[in-house]
Amino acid sequence: MTITGKQFMDLLPGKGGVPQAPDETYLCLPWKFILEWERQWKSWLFAHKLTYSEKFDCNKYASLYKSLPQIIMPRTNGTAQSLAIAEIWYKPAAGRSAHAVNVYVNTKGNLHWREPQPPCQEIRPTPQEQRSVFCRILG
């Protein structure tokens, strides 16, 4: 399934980030793709000895998580220009002043939030956290 940049932006919570999607079409991702990508992602992090630090923090994880599959994972369905993965910044209910994570659109058109830092898992933000999104970066 492919969606337009406008459809992708409309699915994302919050306001801010780029005013429009940089690509015209985005490939929605099957769960199998996400599982394979995360297997490769964890291996890549381990191989490059990347761990959290002040110089490699949440936004670096989120940026790489969004960008690398655009390069290494084949687009087998249609003519989409990009994968439906974005980096978003929001204000978590607990603790930090801001946090960067990733979201993707699955083949049913649903939005899923992913924490790109190990152990790399789905997160379920509260309605308040969803409203707090202040930056959206599409790949």
What are the residue ranges in the chain where pLDDT is below 50? none
**Domain residue spans of the chain:** 2-138
- In 1-139, DSSP assigns E strands to 2-4, 25-27, 82-83, 85-90, 99-105, 111-115, 121-123, 135-138
Residue-wise pLDDT tens digits, 30-66: 988 888 888 888 898 889 888 887 778 899 999 999 9
Fold of 2-138: Beta Polymerase; domain 2 (3.30.460)
